[in-house]
Structure 1
Amino acid sequence: MKINLIIPSFYPAIVYGGPIFSTLHTCQEISKLDGTEVRVSTTNTNMTSKLDVETNKWQKFEDDFYVKYYDETKVDKFSLQLYLNIWKDIKSADVVHVQSVFNTPTPISLLFARLFNKPTLLSPRGQLGSWCLDNGNSFKSKWLNWFIKPFAYQVTWHATAQQEKHNIQAVFPNAKVEVISNGTEYEVFQTSSVLTKQEFIEKYTKQKFDTGKIIVSMGRLQKVKGFNILVDSFAEVLEQYPTAKLFIAGKDEGEGEKLQLQIDALDLNNKVFLVGNISGQDKIDFLANADLFVLPSHHENFGNVYVESLAAGTPIVASKQTPWSEVEEADCGKWVNNSVEETAQAMLEMLGKDREQMRINAKMLAKKYDWKNIAIQFKEVFDKMVEK
C-alpha cells in the first residue's frame, strides 16, 4: 500500500512543536509494517525561515520512508511548486492522508484526491476545537465553508480523541470520524538521570533553595496553554507546601513577559522559574524527576506532553479542555476544569499521594500509547478505506 501524507511542514521544522514529532514517529512506525510505503509531501517552511534541505525531489528519510520538500514560494504561506506538482504524488498513491485544515495545501490536495478517486484521511490537528475557532480570525468560518465543506463528507476524518471527534462533528455533523490517538516513544522515556531535589533545583536556577515538592509544566508560552492559571494555582499550593517550586519549560511565543510580570506581582521570583525550551534527554530528566506535571490548557486535541510525563513516571493534572479523563480511572492524575480553584485543589490532592505508586500507575497507562501500537491502528484504517 502506497500512502501519501500531505502536510504543510515536516521534521526538522520542530519550531511548530508536538505535531512535527508525532507525524515523524507515525511515519517511521507505519513504514516498518509489512506492505506499506510512506511518502511525505511537504514544504521547506520553518515558520520565519526555510529548512536547509534539498527541495522538489524525493529523498529517503533515515531508510524508513520518502520525503519531498517543496520549495515555499512565500515562507509559511504557500508553495507554488507544491500546487503545480502535488497531483503527481496523489495520483501514484493508494491512499492519501492530509494533515491540517487551515493551510493552503489542504483544499488543493483534497480536490486532486477527489479527481483521482483516492480514499482520503483528513487530520485537523485540533484546529476545529471551539477555543481555536473562537480565538482565530474571522476568515476561518468562510474558509471552512468555501474550501473544506465541499469535501467534508467524502473524506474520512481523523481525531486524536473522542473530544476532537465531537469538535469535528459540531462543525460537520455527518462527518465520518476515526479516532486514533497520538503516541509516545515509551521506551525512550524509561531511561532518565535520577536527580535529588537539590540537584534539580540547582540545574535550572544555578542557586540553592530549600527543597520541597517539584512541580513542572511544559509547552510553548502561548495564551492557550493557561500558564497564568497555573501560576495563580501554585500560589495557593504554597500555603500547604511553602518550599515547593514550579518550573515552566517552553519557548516564548508571546506570553513570557506577561507571565514574568505575574510572577513578580505575586512575589514568586524564588518559587516559579521560566527555564526556556528543553529537549532530548534534558526533557526526559525534567519530567521524570518532578513530583507532578500540570498544564491547565484551554485546548488540546491530544497534548503529547501529558503522555510523555506519564511515560516518564510523573502523574499529571490536566484540564477538561483536554482528552485526559482516563488518568483518574488509572489513578495517575486529575482531570479538572481549568480554573484556579480546581487546579490548585487537584495539585494538592496529587501531591498528597504516594509518589512511587503514582510512578507505577503513570507508566502503566502510558505504555498503551507506544507509537508501534498507534501505527497498527492507522494501518487498519487505511486498509479499510482502500477496500471500499
Structure 2
Amino acid sequence: MKILHVAHFFYPCLSAGGVVNASYQIALKESMDNDVKVITSDSCKERLKFPDGRYDVDVDGIKVDYFKNLSNRFKLATMLDTPLSAPFKIRKDIKNYEIVHIHEHRQTLAIFASHFARKNNIPYIVQAHGSVLPFFQKEGLKNLFDKVFGFRILHNASCVFALTEVEKEQYLKMGVEEERIEIVPLGINLVEYEDLPAFGRFRSKFNIEDDEKLILFVGRIHEIKGLDLLMDSFNDLINGLRDDAKDEKIKLAIVGPDDGYLSRLEEKIKDYSLEEKVIITGPLYNEEKQEALVDCDLFVMPSRYESFTTSGLEAMACSKPLVLTKNNHIHDWVDGNVGLACDDDKDSLREAIQAVLFDKNLSRTFGENGKKLVVEKYNWDIINNQILEIYRKFL
C-alpha cells in the first residue's frame, strides 16, 4: 500500500507532544510492509536542521519531507505553517499515493494535502488527536480556520479517527456523519518495554531515597495539564498525612518540556515551600523516561482536558497505577481497573492519590491490570492492523 502521512510536527520534535510520537509510531509500523512517506515542517522549539537535505530524509526507515517554514516563530504562535514550497511539491507527489492520513487538521499542510487529494480522487483520513472542537486556547483563530478550511477538511474526509467515544461525539457536533467515524485509540510499542531499566537509576540521579514514595507526572508543562491543581493537592497531602502515614516520605517528579507554564509552576512550588519535595527534570525521552516510570510508585495526570494519555499507557506498560481527573476521556476504563479517576478539585485528587499511594495491594492490582491491558489492546501492533483494515475500505 502507498500511504502518505501529513503532520505539522514530526520526529525528532518530541517536545511538541504526544501527537508526534503517535504519528511516528503509526508510520513506523506501516513502513515495515508498505510504501510510506511523511510530509511535515521543520518547526520545533528550535527549528530542525538538515545538513544533508530536507527531502526523503530516512527516519528509522520512514521517508520524510521536512518543508521549510518561512517563520518558525509564527508557526509556534499560531500553529500554522508557512511552507512556501509545499503546495507545488504536494501537488506533484500526491499522485504517487493511494491514501492520505492527516494528523491534526488545523494546519496548513492539511489544507494542501486535502485539496490535492480531492482533485486526484485519493481518499484521505483525518485523525484530530483530541483537537476536534475549537476550545481552551486560540479559540478565535481555530473558529476562523474552521469557517475557511476546517469544516471542509473534515466533511470531505473519507473517514475520521476518534480516540474515544467522547471524541466521536465531538466529530458529530462538527457535522461529520456517524458512519464516517472510526474509534481508533492510541498505543505503545511493546518492543520498547521488553527490557526495562533497573530500579533506582532515576532515583539515584535526583537524590530520591529508595524508601521514599514517588509520584510522577510526565507531559508538557502547560496550563491545560492541571499542574496547579496537582501542586495544591500535593501540598495538602504532605501537610495532612494520616497518623499511620506520618513517617512516610513523599516526593513529586515533574518530567516534560516547558510549554509556557514553568515560571508559574515554580512560583507555586516556592509559595508552598516545596522546593525539597518537588523535582522538575525537564524533558526526558526513551530510556531516561522509562527510568522515571520504573522508579515511580504512582503516575498522575491531573489535566483540565485530555483526550488520551500516551504517557499513561507507558506507565501501564511499566506496571504502574494511574490517577487522573475525569477530564481525561479514558477515565471510564481507568477508574477502578488500572487506577482511580477523580473530580477536578484538589480534595478529590488528593484523596485518590492517597488511596493508591498507601495501599500496596490496590497499587499492585492496578499495575498488573494495566500491563495486561496494553498487551491485549493498547499497543501499536494491534492498532496498526486496525488502521490498515480501515484504509483498505477506501481503496
TM-score by length of 1: 0.90
Q: Partner residue of 1:89?
A: 93
- Counterpart CA distance in 2 for 1:285 and 1:200 is 5
Correspondence for 1:146:
148
* Contact 1:55/1:69, CA 8 A, preserved across alignment: no
CA gap 1:11/1:54 in 2 versus in 1, 3 angstroms: farther
Secondary structure of the 1:138 match is helix
Give the whole-Å Cα distance in 1 for the aligned partners of 2:306 and 2:384: 21
- Please report how far the alpha carbon of residue 341 of structure 1 lies from its aligned counterpart in structure 2 after TM superposition: 1.6
Which residue in 2 is equivalent to 1:376?
A: 385
- Counterpart of 1:357 in structure 2 is 365
Number of equivalences: 376
1:328 maps to 335
- Match among 63, 67, 71 for residue 70 of structure 1: 67
Residue of structure 2 aligned with 1:203, choices 180, 202, 205:
205
Q: Deviations over 1:330-372 (max 9, x none)?
A: x220122222121111112212241433332221122122211
For the pair 1:124 / 2:131, whether they are aligned, the reply is no
- On the 8 A contact 1:54/1:69 being kept in 2, the answer is no
Structure 2 counterpart of 1:327, one-letter code = V
Check the 8 A contact 1:190/1:312 in 2, yes or no. Answer: no
In the TM superposition, residue 180 of structure 1 has moved relative to its aligned partner by: 0.9
Does residue 347 of structure 1 match 2:353?
A: yes
Q: How does 1:312-323 map to 2 (within 5 A)?
A: 312-323=318-329
Q: Please, which runs of 5 or more residues in structure 2 have no aligned partner? A: 76-80
The residue type paired with residue 373 of structure 2 is L
Is 2:106–2:150's contact at 8 Å kept on the other side of the alignment?
no
Aligned to 1:162: 165
1:44–1:55 Cα contact (<8 Å) kept: no
Partner of residue 135, structure 1: 137
Q: CA deviation at 1:17?
A: 2.3
Measured in 2, the distance between the counterparts of 1:157 and 1:54 equals 36
Residue 78 of structure 2: aligned partner? none
Between the aligned partners of 1:212 and 1:164, the Cα distance in structure 2 is: 38
* Structure 1 residue 15: Cα displacement: 2.7
**Aligned with 1:97: secondary structure?**
strand
Distance in structure 2 (CA, Å) of the matches to 1:381 and 1:350 = 39
In structure 2, the partner of 1:193 is 197
CA contact (8 A) 1:55 1:71 kept: no
CA contact 2:105–2:153 (8 Å) conserved in 1: no
| Structure-2 residue corresponding to 1:18 | 18
SS of aligned partner of 1:12:
coil
Alignment map for 1:166-181 (pairs within 5 Å): 166-174=169-177, 176-181=180-185
Question: Which runs of 5 or more residues in structure 1 are unaligned?
Answer: none
Q: 1:172 to 1:307 in 2, by over 3 A?
A: same
> Equivalents in 2 of 1:283, 1:56: separation in Å?
29
Please tell me whether residue 274 in structure 1 is matched to residue 280 in structure 2: yes
C-alpha distance 86-342 of structure 1, shift in aligned 2 (>3 A):
same
Distance of 2:203 and 2:40 partners within structure 1:
41
Judging changes above 3 Å, is the alpha-carbon distance between structure 1 residues 98 and 316 closer, same or farther for their aligned structure 2 residues? same
- Which residue does 1:307 correspond to in 2? 313
Give CA-to-partner distance per residue, 1:224-272, whole Å, 9 cap, x none: 1101111111122222245211111111222112112111212222222
Distance 2:224 2:105 in 1: 19
CA contact 2:151–2:174 (8 Å) conserved in 1: no
Task: Specify whether residues 56 and 85 from structure 1 end up closer, same or farther in structure 2 by C-alpha distance, changes over 3 A only.
Answer: farther
**Whole-angstrom distance in 2 between the partners of 1:53 and 1:22:** 26
Q: Distance in 1 between matches of 2:58 and 2:205?
A: 39
Deviates most, 368-377 or 237-246: 237-246
- Contact 2:15–2:257 at 8 Å: present in 1 too? no
Q: Counterpart amino acid of 1:9?
A: F
Tell me how far apart the structure 2 counterparts of residues 288 and 362 of structure 1 sit (CA, whole Å).
14
Cα offset for 1:87? 1.5
Shift of 1:185: 1.8
Cα distance, 1:356–1:105 mapped onto 2, change above 3 Å: same
Superposed CA deviations along residues 198-235 of structure 1, whole A, max 9, x for unmatched, are x754421x4x7694321111111110110111111112
Q: Is the 8 A contact 1:215 1:294 kept in 2?
A: yes
What one-letter code is carried by the residue in structure 2 that aligns with 1:182? L
Identity %: 24
Which amino acid counterpart does residue 333 of structure 2 have in structure 1? E
Structure 1 distance, partners of 2:83, 2:202, is 45
Question: Residues 53 and 346 of structure 1: is their aligned pair in 2 closer, same or farther, counting only changes over 3 Å?
Answer: farther
Residue in structure 2 matched with residue 297 of structure 1 by the alignment: 303
Q: CA RMSD in A?
A: 2.1
Moved more, 67-76 or 143-152: 67-76
Q: Which moved more, 1:117-126 or 1:210-219?
A: 210-219
Offset, 1:300: 1.9
Confirm or deny: 8 A CA contact 2:232 2:346 kept in the other structure. Answer: yes
Offset of residue 108 of structure 1: 2.0
- Residue 55 of structure 1 and its aligned partner are, at CA, apart by 4.2
**d(CA) in 2 for partners of 1:55 and 1:163?**
41
Q: Classify 1:357/1:88 alpha carbon distance in 2 versus 1 (closer, same or farther; 3 Å).
A: same
Q: 216-225 vs 38-47, which deviates more?
A: 38-47
